[in-house]
Structure 1
Amino acid sequence: MRLSNGTTVEAGTSVGGKALRLAVLVAVGLSITACNSLFSKNEDEYAVIEEEPAEVLYNEGLILVNSGAMREAAEKFDEVERIHPYSEWARKSLIMSAYTNYESERYSDAITSARRYVTLYPGSEDAAYAQFLIAESYYNQIADVGRDQARSEKAAVAYRELIEKYPESEYAVEARGKLELARDQLAGKEMQIGRYYLNKHQYLAAINRFKTVVSDYQTTRHIEEALHRLTEAYYSLGLVSEAQTSAAILGHNYPDSPWYKDSYALLSSGGYEPEVNEGSWLSKLFRTSTGSL
């Protein structure tokens, strides 16, 4: 990854499996004495408090990055922005703060810095990378489907925003792949809850969960089971026509699926076969999304 600065400094860490090349402006021949002065009153006398120049603090942060001290580096970059908020060094430090916080797994701080960067500098060459860090920070905190999936949703939103705003960036391809993984996680959660309701014979509640998967997550690996579970739930409610339709769509799109074999066997046990009801919401949905059943 190349930031929009000058000379490159190699960092020994990576984001998203990519080796990062942190492009940073290394000040040559820094004048340590060229610093601002603040005044504080102490016992009726004014003492001069010297303030380190922004570029000195920034380069101290770079030294910490190259030594692997990411937490300390993040603090140094935050100090640049705090003391010199209107300087060009503040902009550079903000993206570096996001990066170093991410590398030290302080994801909340990384998200905060990266989001501020995108808000303040949306047209910057590094804005896509900042958006990528937001998405990655959420993605790395995704829990298994047995737990709350709020971070999966936030990761999906962040990846989608990256793809929409920066479609030609070097991060867009990876974002598309991870967006699908986050969506798969969300679909998995819906399936887990749906199965719970199905086992409790709360068929309408189960149908609502499986319907969400079929409507919103058709490209995930859960679609086949979701169609079969709809067949089960509808059949249990006596809504045979809907059960036949979900089974027929499952068989048409995934004829070799073991879930279709289960659906077919279930209908056959009652003397029915998969058959599309043209008035079903399922047939309308698949005709709209795929152009055919």
Structure 2
Amino acid sequence: MKKLYSVLTVAGLLSVTACSSSPDEETAIKAQGADALYQQAKERMELGNFNGASETLSQLDSRYPFGPYSHQVQLDLIYVYYKLGKTDQAIATIDRFTRLNPNHADVDYAYYMRGLVNMDADRNLFQEMVGIDRSDRDPTHSRDAFNDFRTLIQKYPESKYVNDARKRMVYIKSQLAKHELSVARYYMKRAAYVAAANRGQYVLDNYSDTPQLKQALEIMVECYDQLQLDELKQNALKTLKLNFPDSDVAG
């Protein structure tokens, strides 16, 4: 019984020590220098522990704002916030970095990440997985992402991120065109044909290089027909036949 009691006592002490290790670990972290903290942040990022990495990087950012890792810490924070889906924090960190470091060698990366962050903010993984079309959602972040990528291309045409940015802009334009058509159909269901035709015209004026152009012209033809605006209908029909002779509406 005495031996058993001794074992239980030791086990209890170990349990208490284990429970109290967390605060001790936090104290140890605070006592570390910039080098040790940054190594810890890197290890956490490599392991995919982005919550832990954000905590360590935030400590570094606040404790050593002008330290040897200050710029890299901010760039890493941008990436970590992006992975965590923390849009507001990521954008704030990006804007701070580009404002304070306009000539930094990696400032193009910050602009590129701004586009990715805004693009990701419009994404809903579950709905994409089940194939739900989200073209009717508010496209504000998509528009911001498009402008972010355009800014990157204009300011840093030699950046290694330019090619990917161009591809993403093509995708975003298609999504924005889908949004306009979704709104146009909404108006058509409510017999708001002027508003619907205007949405089609907007696609024609701004997204004529997207696959949605055909549908936009078809909507315009139908709306002008409903409004008995024959001249506008014939103009839209002529453009439709010229570009999409296989269209049922054109026939």
For the Cα contact (< 8 Å) 1:231–1:263, is it kept in 2?
no
Q: Which residue pairs with 2:197 in the alignment?
A: 207
Correspondence for 1:59: 39
Residue 213 of structure 1, CA deviation: 0.9
Question: Which amino acid in 2 is paired with 1:190?
Answer: E
Distance 1:67 1:203 in 2: 55
Matches within 5 A, 1:124-139: 124-139=104-119
- Post-superposition shift, 1:51? 5.4
1:84 counterpart residue number = 64
Q: Take 1:203 and 1:102, find their aligned partners in 2: how far apart are those partners?
A: 41
Identity %: 27
Determine the structure 2 residue equivalent to 1:250: 240
Gaps of 5+ in 1: 1-49, 265-293
Determine which structure has greater relative contact order: mean sequence separation of CA pairs < 8 Å that are 6+ residues apart, divided by chain length: 2
For 1:118, the equivalent position in structure 2 comes to 98
Change (3 A) 1:196 1:104: closer
Separation (CA, whole Å) in 1 of partners of 2:88 and 2:225: 46
SS in 2 for 1:188: helix
1:140 positional shift: 1.6
Aligned residue number for residue 249 of structure 2: 262
User: Which structure 1 residue ranges, 4+ long, deviate > 4 Å from structure 2?
Assistant: none
Is the 8 Å Cα contact of residues 129 and 171 (structure 1) preserved in structure 2? Answer: yes
**After superposition, what is the alpha-carbon deviation per residue over 1:60-92, rounded to whole angstroms, capped at 9, x for unaligned?**
211222232122112211211111112231111
Q: Which amino acid aligns with 2:69?
A: W
- Structure with greater proportional helix content: 2
- Which structure: greater strand fraction? 1
Tell me the alpha carbon deviations over residues 15-52 of structure 1, each in whole angstroms, 9 at most, x when there is no partner.
xxxxxxxxxxxxxxxxxxxxxxxxxxxxxxxxxxx854
Structure 1 distance, partners of 2:122, 2:233, is 34
Normalised to the residue count of structure 2, the TM-score between the two structures is 0.78
1:224 & 1:92 partners in 2: Cα distance? 47
Q: Number of aligned pairs?
A: 212
C-alpha distance in structure 1 between counterparts of 2:69 and 2:183, whole Å: 49
Letter in 2 for 1:195: R
TM-score, normalised to structure 1's length? Answer: 0.68
For residues 208-227 of structure 1, what are the structure 2 equivalents within 5 Å?
A: 208-227=198-217
- Structure 2 stretches of 5 or more lacking a match? 1-29, 124-133
Q: Aligned pair 1:194/2:184, yes or no?
A: yes
Q: Distance in 2 between matches of 1:203 and 1:183?
A: 24
Alignment partners' CA distance in 1, 2:120 and 2:46: 23
Shift of 1:103: 2.4
**1:103 pairs with one of 52, 63, 83:** 83
* Structure 1 position 237 matched with structure 2 position 224: no
In the alignment, the residues of structure 1 paired with residue 187 and residue 87 of structure 2 have an alpha-carbon distance, to the nearest angstrom, of: 35
